[in-house]
Amino acid sequence: MSGSSLESRLLPATPDLESYKDAWGFIEYIEGELFEISLETLGAANKVARKAGMKVGAVILGHKIPEEILRELIYRGADYVIYADHPELEHYNPIAYTEVLYQMIERYRPWALFFMADDLGRDLGPKVAYRATTGMAADCIDFDVEDFEFKLAGKTYKNLLAQIRPAAIWIAKIFTPRHRPQISGVRPGYFKPPPRDPNRRGDIIRFDPLIPEEAKRFRVVKVEKLPEEKDPLRDAELIVSLGMGITRRPGGEPDPVKAFEMAKELAEYIAKKLGVKTALGASRALIHAELKELEGKITHDMQVGQTGKAVSPKIYIAAGISGAIQHKVGMQSSENIIAINIDPNAPIFEIATHIINEDLYTAIPKIIEALKKRLGE
Amino acid sequence: MLIFALYKAVPPDIAKVGTVGGILKREEAQLVINPHDVQAIEAADYMRRLAGGKVISLSMGPHQRVIPIANTLYDYEVWGVDEAYILSDRRMAGADTRATAYTLSLGIKKIIEIHEEAVSKLIGAIEENKDIGEVMKLAEELYNKNLIPNKIYNDKPPLKRYSLLERFVNREISREDLLNKLREHRESLRKDLILFLGMKAVDGETGNTGPQLSQALSEALKIPVAHATYVTNFSYDPDKKLVRVRRRIGRVIQEIEMDLPVLLTMRPEYEAPSIPLRRGRDVLLENYKGKVRDIKILNADDIKADLRAIGLVGSPTQVGPTIEVKKTIIKRILGRSIRILKDVEKIKIGDKEFGPYKKDEIITDPDKDLVKELVEKGFAKIYDYDDLADEIINILSRRERG
């Protein structure tokens, strides 16, 4: 059967598919505040836009959005900003937001649209995708630009967005071959927004939306702001994480407090000498062990992994962490992984860039000592 | 009110499917209800106690494998579901979340239409001035099929005398009043609607279906369906017909009010308040006769689906080849890897050939003889803590990642 008759059995494609250009990041601006995390969508958009030879757009909705914020988006990697400013957009309202984004899509025809896979993005992204008759790939950890042979259509589609999402030890690539925009959820912690560059210039475009009357079926009657959470793990360039290994020491007496102090010294020394942000992390096992001597030192907000936080620092030092799959999914996208473990078969070594098969009680001081030789006390 | 509880049948955790003879294959494993959807059933049950009406369970999947789950839902705490529908058709297989939402929306529309048609039939009979005995017979038939609520027809005290038809027979209301009330009820069927889902399915892990279904239903019913995801508590105001939800969006807590129809996806922490709010007769009159235990199966033709929009062919997203997660990384093993200090041409040691190597190249797990040769001659060194410290400093001094 020819390609076109095969295609007639499929969900009708977006008309004028080739006219869709550029990669957009949806920026969350809620109750007068920019959600910093959503700048990671600009990181994802930048990666694919560069490969596909397209521009990066930032879209933002709200009411009385300060101009500094719009400019900030240019500094943070957007080539242009499209914003809608309307009293009905003051609070997040999925009906209003969906319609406005749909109107923007119709007008400007973006090739890709990224939402953060967080409270807001997960609520809004799928609805927008349905409204625009396109697909939604949830929770992606990486993106690329690739060809895809779509057998049902009897065709190979060139230069699509490859939307990469994890599934146990496999990763699946999701393609949206015949519909635009290609909409994805970006899992927090996997993309850094591009570096801030106040010399960057770009267009700031105001979009006048039509808010449907029906949006009033959803009313925000009250908002409360929660106190700002400090999340040193998310911003850190180096993380020293501790696991149950600190409680087992074949060659001597384990002293979890000492291990903690050593890890802290290492992180603080590097922060001081190199002027970078560092943080301490922990495995789920260690946090759940609730060691008495570490009370107040190892806390729940330090947990890295599937049920904790996903992190991707430049250097992740895993000390005494065996590397259960639940831990790996939260840190495997770190640029460098230094794994210290006395067990030569520790699974963490599979993904480590640097392997130290040694007792962490001796290894950490050796790292500090070697650094001090170079950087001084 | 029609209260929908949606659920997905998922394969049980493969680890838990041990048998005496070994492990069952995934395809053969009995399906179980997606654990997150238990909260949807619980919330629907609570809603029924609050507002009256009936709870309809709905799923999409091969009916032979979904029926055992559907059967268990009739007896869930506290009351369980009243009716069960399953959307089952080979042509629905392979659906992504959009095709699933589309199919579910048409299934829901069809179920609403079944109820609308029942009321229309009754209205028709009255409009044609049929004999009151005939009208009552038809009403009884529809009531026994669970298609009209107590407020329209009931044959037992104490509710009987409050039902519209009984009041009409007793000349408490006029024929016009009766017709208007019936039309009002018919119109309310697609407006006074609430749907509950779990926050995501454990097999797909997307959480897309709830928000997508709100949009699909808005289009199918031509009435905007408000939605809220990840709900931990909600309340319902029966006089204003609105749902109140308090939920978190990032660092903000939103308190929202939504007019019906409403779709909520429930977080696992959700627990229905244990004491039902008693609204007495009003709630009872909204209820239907009882449970219908024969599960109804609907296929793609029954729901008048566009065959291009369901199943794999109706899915905008397509899964490409899957790959095993393995990065090619050059590992540095402290005390074993070597770092090349000067460029090395090809070298022969015994009958083995090595190289060439470039300065600063790392050899993860080098041949012992090669190590000896290169290290002794000063062409390489064993990777140690000094090298590691250099790398740490270099990596962190680089201003931005590549």
- The answer to whether residue A351 is domain-embedded is yes
Of A119, A224, A315, the CB nearest to B230: A119
Q: What is the pLDDT of residues A95-144, one digit of tens each?
A: 999 999 999 999 999 999 999 999 999 999 999 999 999 999 999 989 99
Name the residue facing A127 among B215, B318, B329 (closest C-beta).
Answer: B215
Instruction: For residues A285 and A162, state if they share a domain.
Output: no
The reply to whether A225 falls in a domain is: no
Of A217, A240, A262, which residue constitutes the final position of a domain? Answer: A217
pLDDT tens digit string along B146-184?
999 999 999 998 899 999 999 999 999 999 999 999 999
Tell me: do A237 and A213 sit in the same domain. no
| Alpha carbon of residue A158 to chain centroid | 26
Asked if A194 and A314 sit in the same domain, the reply is no
For residue B30, name the pLDDT band (cuts at 50, 70, 90): confident
User: Is B212 in Cβ contact with A126 (below 8 Å)?
Assistant: yes
Residue of B nearest to A214 (CA): B224
Residue A3 scores a pLDDT above 70: no
Average pLDDT over residues A161-179: 85
Q: Are A187 and A56 in a shared domain?
A: yes
Give the residue numbers spanning the domain of A10: 3-217
Q: Please, is B294 exposed, middle or buried when counting C-beta atoms within 10 Å of its C-beta (0-12, 13-18, 19+)?
A: exposed
Q: Are residues A26 and A115 in the same domain?
A: yes
How many H helices and E strands in chain A? 11, 18
- Domain boundary among the residues A193, A217, A241 is at A217
CATH of the domain at A273: 3.40.50.1220
- Shortest alpha-carbon distance between residue A293 and chain B (Å): 30
Question: Is residue B400's pLDDT more than 50?
Answer: no
Is any Cβ of chain A less than 8 angstroms from the Cβ of B208?
A: yes
A26 and A152 assigned to the same domain: yes
CA–CA distance, B69 with A315 (Å, rounded to integer):
48
Q: Determine whether the interchain pair B318/A150 forms a contact, defined as Cβ–Cβ distance below 8 Å.
A: yes
Q: Which of A63-72, A85-94, B60-69, B272-281 has the lowest mean pLDDT?
A: B272-281
Task: Kindly list the residues from chain A whose CB atom is less than 8 angstroms away from the CB atom of residue B208.
Answer: 125-126, 129, 136, 138
| A92 and A202 housed in the same domain | yes
For chain B, say whether A171 makes contact (Cβ under 8 Å).
Answer: yes
How many CB atoms neighbour CB B340 within 10 A? 19
Same domain? For A210 and A258 the reply is no
What pLDDT does residue B399 have?
Answer: 54
The per-residue pLDDT for B50 is 87
Residue showing tokens 């449907």: A212
Residue type, B392: I
Query: Residue A62 falls within a domain, yes or no?
Result: yes
Residue-level length of chain B: 402
Same-domain pairing of A211 and A325: no
Q: Which of B255, B259, B395 faces A314 most closely, judged by CB atoms?
A: B395
A190 and A43 within one domain: yes
Task: Compare all CA atoms of chain B with the CA of A337 and give the residue at the minimum distance.
Answer: B331
Rounded (5°) CA angle A181-B248-A163:
25
Domain-located, residue A269: yes
Q: What is the mean pLDDT of chain A?
A: 92
Q: pLDDT tens, B217-272?
A: 999 999 999 999 999 889 999 889 999 999 888 888 999 999 999 999 998 878 88
pLDDT > 60? residue B325: no
Give the pLDDT band of residue B25 (cuts 50, 70, 90). very low
**Runs of H (alpha helix) within B163-305:** 164-169, 175-188, 209-221, 281-286
Q: How far apart are CA A60 and CA A92, in angstroms?
A: 12
Same domain, A112 and A246: no
In A, which residues are within 8 Å of B237 by CB distance?
A: none
pLDDT at B249: 87
The CATH number linked to A151 is: 3.40.50.620
> Residue B402: its pLDDT value, please?
33
| Residue A332, in any domain of the structure | yes
Residue B17 has a pLDDT of 35
- Domain-terminating residue out of A217, A243, A277: A217
Which tens digit of pLDDT belongs to each residue from A259-275? 999 999 999 999 999 98
Q: Would A203 be classed as within a structural domain?
A: yes
How many structural domains is chain A composed of?
Answer: 2
Q: How far apart are CA A62 and CA A92, in angstroms?
A: 8
CA atoms within 13 A on the CB side of B177: 12
Instruction: Among A167-176, A178-187, A323-332, B51-60, name the one with the lowest average pLDDT.
Output: A167-176
| Nearest chain B Cα distance for residue A33, angstroms | 10
The most confident of A309-318, B182-191, B318-327, B353-362, by mean pLDDT: B182-191
Query: Is A226 a domain residue?
Result: no
Residue B347 has pLDDT above 70, yes or no: yes
The whole-number pLDDT of residue B29 equals 62
Displacement of CA A148 from its chain's centroid (Å): 25
Say what the pLDDT of residue A155 is.
92
Let me know: does B145 contact B121? Beta carbons within 8 Å.
no
Q: Is the ipTM of this complex over 0.95?
A: no
In-domain check, residue A224: no
pLDDT at A213: 94
B320 touches chain A (CB under 8 A): yes
A16 and A40 both lie in a single domain:
yes
> Distance (Å) from the C-alpha of residue A48 to the closest C-alpha of chain B?
14
